[in-house]
Structure 1
Amino acid sequence: MMKKRGQIVIISGSLIIIAHILKYLNFDISIFNGLMIISSIVAGYPIAKNAIGALRYKILGIEALVTVAVTGAIYIGEYWEAAAVTFLFIFGAYLEARTLEKTRSSLKALLDLAPNTASVIRDGKEIKVSPDDVLKGETVLVRPGEKIPVDGLVLSGNASVNQASITGESVPVTKEKGDHVFSGTVIETGHLELEAERVGDDTTFARILEMVEEAQESKAPTQKFIEKFAKYYTPGIMLLSVIVYLITRDLELTLTLLVISCPGAMVISAPVSIVAGIGNGAKKGILIKGGEYLEKAGKIDIVAFDKTGTLTIGSPKVTNIKSYGMSEEDLLFLAAKVEMTSEHHLARAIIEEAQTRISSPIEAATDFEVFPGGGVKAVVDNEEIYIGTRKLLSDNEIFISNEIEEYLIQEENNGQTAVILAKKEKTLGVISIADKIRDDARNEILNLRKAGVKKVVMLTGDNRRVANAVSKELGIDEYYAELLPEEKVSKIKELMKNNTVAMVGDGINDAPALALAHLGVAMGGSGTDVAMETADLVLMSDSLSKLSYAFGLSRATVRNLKQNIYFAVFVVFALLIGVLTRNVFMALGMLIHEISVLLVIVNAVRLTRYKGVHKDS
């Protein structure tokens, strides 16, 4: 289509140039007029064709205005005006298409990273196949400089892998046996042997491409408003032109009014900015699911963070063990038996510590029961064992001595999550667990404030003392502790009453809150289906540093969009006044119109080079 449009531009422009040369050489004026008419037909045919096609769907668009105006210009003998208008319109459309390609450069860069071939082992032999033909479970070989064609598990080898296509981070990471890798990433040094876990359209890279493409086609509220406005604007201009003609009886003035009133720059002002912004985000490892969310991110007043796995790294470790009447190892071994069936992150920390310290196999306890927000209960050697919070013990009438209470307070004030191990008769001990705060968390909270966020809050199921310690360390404005999942949702509802709220979580445990908030943000989303499906914005790298960039990009996009709209409206009204005061004629009006469209696009292209303005302190 672009090639064909380029050919039309060349033919039409050549005819106009030849016509002017022949006129200069004093050839008969009828030759000049004939060439201008032919040029008008060559350039005007695709315009008229599009106009008729739109009318079939009851759409009165820009092409219809130009077609009517050019037909009228030929009718009244303004052949040069007709040729100039059609040439400028088709030439402008060609330049717009070429320039718009730049706004999609980030998506094109992603497409270029798509792997072309895959080396798999079949029947004991290595063969090359299309990545789409790799079967789940097959062994895939990847060598230096090659793109990884599947999401897979490393079976053997060691390699430095550039994951920029997924996370936006260009610093390579080391991958070895037991690690997971993603399609579209590149091995810089070393080699890997993989087991294909996700193939074809199911890979993380393929899903990112699909979501970015869908996002660039989606419409922001401002864009929807402009399109609705344009729907009534074009018929309105036609009606105004009829009124002007009835008053002035000046057909040339009327036709000029039709040409210069084309709202091209206005119609394109929003989508071109949105596409550029989403493309920039994709390049940086920020998956924005549509123009609506890109626009919304710039209006966020409050950011609510989950604690575990969001402000902390999500890998808690046992830090202290305090036992009463038994050894630390025996307490830990008992706790691990109870927690073996649990999938809670604190349970995983206890089990990992037990497996590190104790060589004996750990058998899961029986009659396992979960108390949401409180802890768990299970039977070991015919005795009910409880692990959890004070509330769990209180609800089951288990006494906590002053000595144990003081120890719990001490650990919690130090930012430790202290879980109590008890049986019906007494408390057996306390296991302290801590999750390391992310290195970039404090700087990122400062950067969010620089990006325009008014308040930062933390929602956690942890106890108040731990929440207070983390909040003080990170400079968080407010915290809400000891929340059950449904209470997090209630708190988000409360915050949303008078503010625009973003919820940031891991995309799994926080799915209800992510879905409810004005903007749901999932971080560390590489390969996480729930994160990609639930959140409106996904930070593909396991780092908070992209969040303020995303908010800054959103504000830059909204600013850019408004600049485009104000400029487009100003040009239309300026031209309208120029025509009505007889200072702007048809060809000049079309030239200014096309220049305005190009300036709008060029302004939007600046967003592809946005690098953020908020640096770490």
Structure 2
Amino acid sequence: MSDRIQLDLPILLPDVPDAKDACVERLTTSLQGHAGIDRAHVAPAENGTADRLCVHYDPETISLSRIRQMAKSLGSEITDQYGHLVWGVEGISHPRRARTIAKRLRRIEGVVEAEASASERIRVEFVRSAVSEQAIRETLRSMGVRVRGDVIDVRDVGAGGHHHEEENHDHDHDHGGMFGEQTELIFAILSGLCVVTGFGVSFVGAVPGWVAVSVYGVGYFFGGYYTVREAVDALRVGEFEVDFLMLVAAVGAAVLGKWLEGAFLLFLFSLGHALEHYAMGRARQAIESLAELAPDTALIRRNGEEVEVPVEKLAVGDTVLVKPGARIPADGIVVEGESAVDQSPVTGESVPVDKTPVDDPGAAMEAPDTLGATHRVYAGTINGNGAIDVRVTAPSDETTISRVVQMVTEAEADKSPTERFTDRFERIFVPSVLGLVVLLLFAWVPLDETFADSFYRAMAVLVAASPCALAIATPSAVLSGVARAGQSGVLVKGGGPLEQLGRLGAVAFDKTGTLTEGEPRVTDVWPYDDTSEADLLRAAVVVERLSDHPLAEAVVQYGEEHLDDTGAAASDLESVTGQGVKATVDGEPVYVGKDDLFDEKGDLRVPGPPLPEPIREQVESLESEGRTTMIVQKGERYLGVIGLSDAPREEAAAMVERLRDLGIRRMIMISGDNQRVVDAVAAQLGIDEARGDLLPDDKVTAVQQLREEEDVAMVGDGVNDAPAMANASVGIAMGAAGSDVALETADVALMADKLDPLPFAVGLSRRTRRVIRQNLWLALGMVAILVPATIFGLQIGPAVVLHEGSTLLVVGNALRLLGYEA
């Protein structure tokens, strides 16, 4: 079923003049290419309203929050009509209860989407004009669910939205029951004690029989307390859950006078629930531990004095003093001192990264995102042996680590495809079990047995067929996988991308900055005819000074190092994406670009003779060696060719081999660079296919074509590659630490600016998928064995032991993912 959301275009793209602008088409194309989005189009203005972007999407596949992230990464903001809450809560002990709570929330008028998870996270998207945050809290409270003392994230969705944390200072509220978070486990243990006591009392001849029954009755209370609550919640939203089946079986046992078996059933069921809750808590704590990496206080220098302040009080521009061996309290830039910093808690890098101060702190603060890794530090990382001074670039709630925790928290509430399938399966399976049980209640008619025997058999089948292990099989594995990835500097946004990674048949890489270092340098200056090297270089430098392209920066840097005088300033810059630039120097036009620019299809209409054959041969020669080339023409005279090289990353070739070992069949490089250059780099790295001369729109088309053939990931830097990444089965951004765009864009973000974590992420995903399959086979296999066994006479006691044992085995299998090593 497809939902629809309409968004104000002027708010989405405030700088766009009208709906015909190319940016609007880029936004709709990128959104429409993503899994779960059926259609994205512009609805024309009506009755004085603005143009609106209309998105038709499947909430079973993609959440509204993910659409919001994608729109933001593409340079737009979703209107503030929609509120967005992500809360840590208490009182969700199991995926079944999480499903019930989410369904109840979705019934509130004005709630667009609601997801809950057994990791005790709730995400709600709502229309502000229709429902308030307080009303959502009240609904949760009525179900015995309370928002934790700290709200993990309460954010406005839209332009001008604010990200803040809300402190709740009411410490007297119920933390899960009279014994706090351990109430469920303590109740299960008390139920078990009652079972043992009642069993022992029944052997004492002098004690009346009603005493043992009374003790069993107390065991019913403690064992069934949480089960009754969850069953009632499920019935209120019109669902029959496993808890209801267990209650029916326990009540049926009591009706037959089998108080011991009924109490034993509730004891093991409640104990299994409590242990599942504990196990899921372990996986959750692995994620929450990331939030505790940053220290609580920071030593800062203000007005010439050193003062210790809470990290929440740090302001952008403060100078933090970091001592040797101390944890860095904030994201920032190094302004004094040198050291090596262990960044593994954030980026997963195993080797400390050398840090040196920036040359101009003032200029660096204006654009910290553009600085290299040697100047930037992140909250939660560990300083080495040198003392450093760090200028703060982000408040405590906007640091890289806090954003990672926030996004992983959101991801926990997103369900994977397998989890959604098992949810649908359960909704059909549980009523089917009830139908089978009703039939078995009348087995005494054809089998010539007592009604009590048929009733007992029906209750045993009810226990055997309850899909407890099935309900926990996928969420426990997904949560463990997401937590393990986060510990190694890989941000996976939910179970969907985690499972999708494991199904990949192909990986497409952007070339520049992904497979290569992204720092091109001039290697060849080849003047043509009677032009000198200095004249050629000078003409290129004055034009490229007006451009912010990485190749332009490399030419300017080389020229400043090799020329005494770089010449007069240029003006009137014009550019054509993927071809080159034109500017005016000393009254003459100067053209710098690829050979396409100088052919007839050149969009800048370069005057003069066609490209001379010697220049064309030189270009081909340089490109065959992996060089990127720039041809320079002044007026109608060709000055020559400049060759640049962007070296492949050291780890790139080994990464390609590791991916191939993991079963990735095709690796494709896509680039706007010349085809010969792309072919040369691909040959160096062992890439299967190389596609060059691609404009940004061509990259999107290439990824769409690949996706039609098989599941494909797109790996890029999350900035220029956003549309292509959005159209891939999985978008993977590298170097996401400190980059808001990269964090928002991708389904999977590699925090380090390295390719090494990519095989780890793919391997973890494939292991997670194997664990999920193992868990599903175990869960369904146990049901397949126990149902016929109980029909043919297996007692309730052994059935309960095997049933709950399989559930705990499934959880234990999932927790193995927390120790995964590539």
How does the TM-score come out when normalised to structure 2?
Answer: 0.72
CA contact (8 A) 1:339 1:364 kept: no
CA distance in 1, matches of 2:355, 2:578: 36
Aligned to 1:115: 295
Moved more, 370-379 or 10-19: 10-19
CA contact (8 A) 1:166 1:540 kept: yes
Aligned to 2:226: 46
Moved more, 129-138 or 102-111: 102-111
Q: Indicate whether 1:8 and 2:187 are aligned.
A: yes
Q: Return the letter of the residue paired with 1:384.
A: P
201, 205, 214: which one aligns with 1:26: 205
Q: Please list, as runs of the form range in 1=range in 2, the aligned pairs for 1:537-576 lying within 5 A after superposition.
A: 537-576=748-787
CA contact (8 A) 2:291 2:401 kept: no
1:238 alignment partner, SS class = helix
CA distance in 2, matches of 1:223, 1:273: 10
Deviation at 1:520, TM superposition (A): 1.0
Instruction: Give the direction of change, closer, same or farther, for the CA distance of 1:555–1:461 in structure 2 (3 Å limit).
Output: same
CA distance in 2, matches of 1:150, 1:362: 43
596, 599, 605: which one aligns with 2:815: 605
Aligned to 1:497: 708
Aligned to 1:437: 648
1:147 alignment partner, SS class = coil
Instruction: Give the direction of change, closer, same or farther, for the CA distance of 1:385–1:120 in structure 2 (3 Å limit).
Output: same
Moved more, 143-152 or 96-105: 96-105
Aligned to 1:222: 418
CA distance in 2, matches of 1:363, 1:397: 23
CA contact (8 A) 1:37 1:82 kept: no
Q: Return the letter of the residue paired with 1:603.
A: N
Q: Indicate whether 1:212 and 2:373 are aligned.
A: no
Instruction: Give the direction of change, closer, same or farther, for the CA distance of 1:364–1:606 in structure 2 (3 Å limit).
Output: farther
1:333 alignment partner, SS class = helix
CA distance in 1, matches of 2:334, 2:784: 62
CA distance in 2, matches of 1:590, 1:111: 40
Moved more, 435-444 or 51-60: 51-60
2:339 alignment partner, SS class = strand
CA distance in 1, matches of 2:557, 2:607: 30
Q: Return the letter of the residue paired with 1:464.
A: Q
Q: Deviations over 1:15-37 (max 9, x none)?
A: 22223333344342332222111
503, 514, 537: which one aligns with 1:299: 503
Aligned to 2:99: none
1:496 alignment partner, SS class = helix
470, 483, 486: which one aligns with 2:681: 470
Instruction: Give the direction of change, closer, same or farther, for the CA distance of 1:378–1:259 in structure 2 (3 Å limit).
Output: same
CA distance in 2, matches of 1:121, 1:9: 54
Q: Which has the higher helix share?
A: 1
Aligned to 1:392: 597
CA distance in 2, matches of 1:107, 1:364: 53
CA distance in 2, matches of 1:405, 1:326: 17
Aligned to 2:699: 488
CA distance in 1, matches of 2:776, 2:218: 36
572, 577, 591: which one aligns with 2:801: 591
CA distance in 2, matches of 1:406, 1:43: 84
2:617 alignment partner, SS class = helix
Deviation at 1:105, TM superposition (A): 5.0
Aligned to 1:261: 465
CA distance in 1, matches of 2:669, 2:569: 34
Moved more, 366-375 or 544-553: 544-553
CA distance in 2, matches of 1:306, 1:532: 17
Aligned to 2:120: none
CA distance in 1, matches of 2:674, 2:225: 72
Deviation at 1:362, TM superposition (A): 7.0
Deviation at 1:577, TM superposition (A): 0.8
CA contact (8 A) 1:318 1:432 kept: yes
Aligned to 2:88: none
Deviation at 1:359, TM superposition (A): 5.2
CA contact (8 A) 2:294 2:328 kept: no
202, 219, 239: which one aligns with 2:435: 239
1:190 alignment partner, SS class = coil
1:198 alignment partner, SS class = coil
Q: Deviations over 1:517-576 (max 9, x none)?
A: 111111122212221111111111111122122111111111110110011001012111
732, 747, 755: which one aligns with 1:536: 747
Q: Indicate whether 1:134 and 2:314 are aligned.
A: yes
Moved more, 452-461 or 17-26: 17-26
Instruction: Give the direction of change, closer, same or farther, for the CA distance of 1:291–1:362 in structure 2 (3 Å limit).
Output: farther
- Tell me, which stretches of 5 or more residues in structure 1 are unaligned? 613-617
Q: Indicate whether 1:64 and 2:275 are aligned.
A: no
Q: Deviations over 1:155-202 (max 9, x none)?
A: 111122111122111321111202011112111322221111111221
Q: Return the letter of the residue paired with 1:592.
A: L
Aligned to 1:375: 580
Aligned to 2:11: none
CA contact (8 A) 1:500 1:518 kept: yes
Q: Return the letter of the residue paired with 2:227.
A: I
Aligned to 1:340: 545
Deviation at 1:405, TM superposition (A): 2.0
CA distance in 1, matches of 2:200, 2:456: 26
Deviation at 1:329, TM superposition (A): 3.2
Q: Which one has more relative contact order, counting CA pairs under 8 Å at least 6 apart?
A: 1
Instruction: Give the direction of change, closer, same or farther, for the CA distance of 1:26–1:188 in structure 2 (3 Å limit).
Output: farther
313, 333, 356: which one aligns with 2:517: 313
1:194 alignment partner, SS class = strand
CA distance in 2, matches of 1:468, 1:452: 23
Deviation at 1:111, TM superposition (A): 2.9
Deviation at 1:437, TM superposition (A): 0.5
Q: Please list, as runs of the form range in 1=range in 2, the aligned pairs for 1:266-305 lying within 5 A after superposition.
A: 266-305=470-509
CA distance in 1, matches of 2:672, 2:535: 28
Instruction: Give the direction of change, closer, same or farther, for the CA distance of 1:452–1:362 in structure 2 (3 Å limit).
Output: farther
Q: Deviations over 1:387-434 (max 9, x none)?
A: 001111223144322222222222111111111111232111211100
CA distance in 1, matches of 2:396, 2:292: 16
Q: Return the letter of the residue paired with 1:84.
A: F
146, 162, 171: which one aligns with 2:351: 171
CA contact (8 A) 2:682 2:690 kept: yes
Q: Return the letter of the residue paired with 2:511.
A: K
Deviation at 1:292, TM superposition (A): 0.6
Aligned length: 611
Aligned to 1:615: none
CA contact (8 A) 2:185 2:275 kept: no
Q: Return the letter of the residue paired with 1:219.
A: K
Aligned to 2:14: none
CA contact (8 A) 1:377 1:385 kept: yes
- Tell me, which stretches of 5 or more residues in structure 2 are unaligned? 1-175, 359-374, 445-450
1:287 alignment partner, SS class = strand
CA distance in 1, matches of 2:690, 2:566: 40
Instruction: Give the direction of change, closer, same or farther, for the CA distance of 1:329–1:105 in structure 2 (3 Å limit).
Output: farther
Aligned to 2:48: none
Instruction: Give the direction of change, closer, same or farther, for the CA distance of 1:422–1:27 in structure 2 (3 Å limit).
Output: farther
CA contact (8 A) 2:507 2:712 kept: yes
Deviation at 1:275, TM superposition (A): 0.9
* % identical equivalent positions: 37
